[in-house]
Structure formats: structure tokens, C-alpha cells
Chains A and B, each alone.
Chain A
């Protein structure tokens, strides 16, 4: 058992990491008494409180594992996109983008900043500002990416289909990544909204932070595969 601090101002809870064998972890499943529970023979109220906490913690652990595995598996989506671009790069020289690489890189830095802020935010318990800050960073990232693609299209004439496969990769993969960022940002918005209504959103935030780290890592893949000359 380990004490968890609440980054969103909710009541701190006790976290239990039961093994798969010791409990039945599906949502809504009836928890089984552990050996230690039975030996101490707590009163029925204490026992029900303890088992409810264990059930909640177990559900959170299951959801967390599902998020980790789901995101790890979904990285195959971006790996496949990178494979495709790598194929085209091996086939012929990859034209340099007529958009500022520094600008694109600094835009990605917003995601890294968001990752750091959220990571720190998970250590804090009394405020929701890290989530709100990350939300703003996510929106800024999307706006800047939209600006770069707009500039590439209208100013630099990097267009589809005239620009061939490199223009397709720039616009197409940037859009696919942006959709993922939009999904994570929308999730963070919901977390902030629920927190504003008084809900305990700590477990949910912990999973959304994983999503944010995921889109940050995938942006690195996008930068290396598509943006670099």
C-alpha cells in the first residue's frame, strides 16, 4: 500500500496494488477478503470501507494498465506511418520543407513543456493549474501547427497533390498527429470541467497524462520522419 497525493485538490486516498490472484479486478466486481483482512477481523463497517477502497484502487489499476497497453499498442499506428515515409525517403531524396524547422521544433517544445507541467502537477495536490496550463499549451500547439501548415500551403505552395508524396506526408501526418493531440486535449478539458464541478479526477488525470506523453513521443517521430530534411 502506498499513500497517493491528489494533484487536483480532491481528498487523498490510499492506493492498493492487489495482485491479479488476490482480487477480481473487473469494474463492479465483488472483492474477496485478503488473508491479512481476515486475520485482523475488522468490524463490518471497517471491512466494507476497506473493501470499497480496494475495489476502487483495483479498478484504477486496471484502467491504468489498459491505458498503458492501449497507448503502447497504438504507437504501431505512428510506427507504420513512419515506415511508409522511410520507404519514400529511401526511394528518392526528400525535399527540405520550406517552413522554419526552428519554428516547428519550438512548437513541439510546447508538448514537452506540457509533459513536464503535468508530471509536476501529479506531484501536487492542492491545485488544478497544471491541467489548465497543459490545456492551454495543447491549444497553442494546435494553433501553431495549423499556422505552419497554412503557411506551407498558401505561402510556400506545398500543396496536395502537386507537391507529391512529401507534401502529402507533411500535411497528412501532421493532421493525423494533430487529431490525436486534439483528442488528448479534449480529454484534459473534460478533466478540468469535471474538477470544476467538484469531482475527484485524480485517476482520470493520471491516465490523461499518459496520453499527453504519448502524443509528445509521437511528435518526435513525426519530426524525425517528416520534418527533418
Chain B
């Protein structure tokens, strides 16, 4: 794999390795936080080399840096790059029958900007006063130089700007690619739901990442040039600005970011549930429409994050209603998934298990979020671990499992080798159960009133009884970390000695499986396919009758069916499938 290659598949692999690396870093930081909540002030095993003065124990400043960097690394450098950078870059052109992305150089440039951000993040751990420590949201005035003077905060702020720029480039690239580069016959109504999810999330990316860029640019000017946009109170000079402006700008990006992280996973779940129920996706148009509606509403609900920051009661009520409204299209989509499963010939493959687990954790995350969408219940819960449990179920567990659903599904296509299915199932199932243990424990602790950023919660008498609960939650978290070793072993073993993947191991009809080799060569397709049908043509009686199988390729001609204006010339593409090129008579 050339580091300078412009091929979308090579760029995807770069994002994959980088994203997995940052996932490991973010996960280790999470374990350090969990250790602190279970055994406050005790040395973290294996951390003495990094924190020699405290012999490996987290001090309060280190603790704030650790939970800040955990959030930033996971959101900007792990999950988003894995969903878009790795899976999106790899799958999207293949799934729409394109030979590449619309702007290959922009795609490669985006990766290197992201990589620069990653380097800055890593460098921030080595500078004096440590990395960023103002929370992943970097709320001013805490994030201004008056309160967080170290270079680390500045480096990480620039790193976030880099990650945002990268997200803007691939968002724009994906939107234009879907609009301009679809194969002949690949109408909007024939796009796989994964593409729909990536498309809508990309639209959100290009619309709202500039808002984050504006907030970050102003914050950087406050830190470096002495401007007063977000500085108020005693630190302000000449009247000062207003930190609440930053909160508005940040969440105008931040809430759509929740959907940016979950929309691709929703799309994958929609496809995988259909593929492995051997049924067409129930309510395909409704599901795509629901994703569009959620995307449209996502920018209109952001201020529910500010219920406790102070706003007009009328605005509060408005945002509450909009927030609760957004759950309706999500429910439509969820019901469509359930209806697809209903009476389907369900095959519990590893991608399907990951998709089902995504549904479960996302469902729980959604339900627990309702309490945060209503003003009356948000006010007491907002500062507690309830919020942490909720958004980790939706943005963390659901996105993580969505990533692995996609990775297990497309891995044979990416590398031409088949992962060990048993190990994959063990990894998915144990991860899902342990996710519920970790974030369920956080929800319970939050409901009991544990505040979410406390260094040592048990300094408060009313929280002392939560210590055993937190210790059990921490055990689940460490087990969750341990089972990731199963994935690593499976990955390394497969890449070195794994068996060659079959041409179409999941027996589905989408273009990447039926018209391209594994892994696809340069240009993706020998011939650009002409698409004849949607992505979920499964268990169709006429296909069963004529082909003797329950699936048919999107570009495969059903024997005995000829179009009036064309004759179809069959071109062997991969085992058991044919693609078509059109020659006009």
C-alpha cells in the first residue's frame, strides 16, 4: 500500500489503521478513567512509567486531561474516521458502481490533514502541563489561556481543526460522488441504505463542520492573539465577550455530530438486517426518508444541550418539542428494521450479530435520551453520569458496533481474506453484553445522582454507597477492553494466514460483491456495471425458480428477461454472478 496512492481503497486502509490505533488509545484512556472511579487515587497498573511522580496514580489534573483526551480522541480521531474514512471511503464508490471518488486528490489530502491532527494530539501528551484538559467540548472560559495555559490545549484545538477539515473534505467528496458518479441505472431508489446513511451524514458534515471551525478559530484567537470573544468575568478586558456563544456554536455542530456518527451505522444496519433476513428491506423508502428527516431536524434541536446554561423558557420549550419530534423518524426506521426481521430467514453471521447489537444499544440509548430531551427531567439529570451512559450507548456503543458490523461484512472485500467467523461472533457478542454492563452501570449511577466529572465521587457522603456499583462497572469495562484482544488476534491471524475469501461470502447482490474482485483492483470494475434493480432483491420467487438461489446481483440479468431497447451481454465478473454491459440494437 503506497502512502501516496490516491486510490480510495488505499486511503480507506490508511484511515482504518490510524482509526484503530486511536481507538486503542481512546480505550486505554477510558480504562484509566474507570480505574479512578473504582479505586480513586490508587496507582493504575502499568502507568507508573508515564506518571512516575504519583507512581501511576491519576492526580486531579491528570484525571481531567485523561477524560478530555478520551472524548476528543474517540470522537474526532477514532469513530468518525473509522466510519467515514475507512468504511465510507472503501464502500461508497464500490456500492454505487463508481471507479473512484469524485476528487481522489482531495481524499488523500484529507487523510494527511487528519494524520497531522493525530500527530498533534500525540505530541500534546509530551508537552509541559500535558494535553488538553478542558473537556472534549472545550468550553470557554475553561479552555482559554486564562484557565488552561498549557501548549497542549492549543495543540489539541488545532488538531480538532485538522480533523474537522478532513471531515469537510470527505463529506464534500462523498456528496459529489453520490450525485455525479453513480453507475448507469443506479437511481437514487436503488442505492444501498449504507450509501444513504453515508450521504446524509456527509451532508451534515459539510454543513456543520464549518460551524465547529468558526468556534474553534475564535477560540484559538482568544488563546493566541488575546481576543475577547469568549472571555468574561474577572479575566475579561474591555468588556469581554460571552462563553455561551461558544456553547451555541459548538452544539450547533455537536448535535448533528451525534447523527454524523450514527447515520452510517443506521444505513449499515438497514442493509445487513435485510441481507441476513434474506428479505427485501421493509419500507426502504421510509427508512431512507426517515434518515433524511432526522438529518433535517438534527440542526434544529441542538439547544437541548443548553437547557441548564440559561435560555428563554420559550426557546427551551421549542427545542424540547423539536428534540422529542426527532425520535419519531428514528422510531419509523427502527420499526422497519424489526419488520424486516419479522418472519425472515435470519442468519446469525458476525455482521448480523453486530447489526442486531447496534439496534439494541442504540434503542436503549435513544430511550434514555428522552429524559434528557425534556426540560423538567434534563435539569436534574444533566450533570450526572446518566448523560454519559446515554450518549455512550448512542455515540459510543452503537457506532462502535456499527463499525464492526461494517468491518466484519466488508473485510473479505477489503483484504481478500476471511476472518474467523467464530472469533468474530465471540468478539461481537461479548462486546455488546459488556457495553450494556458498562453503560448500564453509568446510567444507574447517574440516576442515583453521581456527578459526571468528579475526580473522587466518594468524597460526598450521598455517593459513597455507589462505590460497589462503580467497581462492577469498571470490571465490565476492563473485560470489554480484554475481549478486544479477540479481534486483534483474529485480525492479525487472518491478515497473515487467513483463508482466501469467497467471491460473495454473504450471498448478497450489491455491486461490490457481485461485480468486483476481492480485493477490487484499480478502477474497481472490469466493466462499469449497468444496474437493473435495488440492493435487496432477496428471496424473489422468479430468481429462485430460474437461478436456484435466493439472491441476484444488482447488475445481473435474470435469464429469459430482455429489455426492449437493449440486449444484455453477459460478462463473467465473479463466481456465480454476472455483470452486464449494454449494447444498443
Contacts and interface: CB of A to CB of B under 8 A. Distances in A.
A-B pairs, top 4 by smallest CB distance, nearest first, are: A164-B238, A164-B239, A80-B214, A168-B227
Contact of B99 (A29, A69, A88, A160): A29
A83 B249 contact: yes
Contacts of B578: none
Nearest to A163: B238
Given A25-B98, A25-B102, A84-B218, 8 more contacts: A20-B180, A32-B528, A73-B207, A80-B252, A160-B225, A160-B227, A161-B226, A161-B231
A63 B101 CA distance: 12
Nearest to B103: A66
Nearest to A39: B584
Nearest to A166: B239
A62 B228 contact: no
A29 B231 CA distance: 52
Nearest to B232: A165
Contacts of B488: none
A21 B187 contact: yes
A106 interface: no
A41 B582 CA distance: 14
B184 A168 contact: no
A140 B134 CA distance: 42
Contacts of B245: 83-84, 87-88
B214 A26 contact: no
A76 interface: yes
A69 B177 CA distance: 12
A117 B296 CA distance: 38
A70 B211 contact: no
B229 A176 contact: no
B406 interface: no
Interface of B: 93, 97-104, 106, 168, 172-173, 175-177, 179-187, 206-208, 210-211, 213-215, 217-218, 221, 225-229, 231, 236-242, 245, 248-249, 252, 523, 528, 582-584
A65 B241 contact: no
A26 B100 contact: yes
B221 A168 contact: yes
Nearest to A70: B172
Interface string A47-75: 00000000000100111011001100111
A39 B183 CA distance: 21
Contact of A22 (B179, B184, B215): B184
A29 B227 CA distance: 48
B555 to A, nearest CB: 13
Given A20-B182, A65-B180, A172 B221 contact: yes
A30 interface: yes
Contact of B229 (A26, A58, A84, A163): A84
Given A26-B93, A73-B206, A172-B218, A165 B102 contact: no
Contacts of B93: 26
Contact of B214 (A23, A61, A81, A161): A81
A169 to B, nearest CB: 8
A71 B98 CA distance: 24
A161 B176 CA distance: 43
B180 A61 contact: yes
B7 to A, nearest CB: 10
Contact of B184 (A21, A164, A165): A21
Contacts of A81: 214, 218
B97 A26 contact: no
A27 B102 contact: yes
Interface in A123-181: 160-169, 171-172, 176
Contact of A171 (B181, B227, B248): B227
Given A30-B523, A35-B584, A92 B184 contact: no
A69 B239 contact: no
Contacts of B226: 160-161
Given A21-B182, A176-B217, A62 B241 contact: no
A164 B237 contact: yes
A172 B228 CA distance: 10
B181 A24 contact: yes
Q: Choose among B97, B100, B182, B239 the residue with the greatest number of A CB atoms under 10 Å from its CB.
A: B239
Nearest to B177: A26
A78 to B, nearest CB: 8
Q: Choose among A26, A63, A84, A176 the residue with the greatest number of B CB atoms under 10 Å from its CB.
A: A26
Contacts of A35: 584
Contacts of B213: 77
A76 B523 contact: no
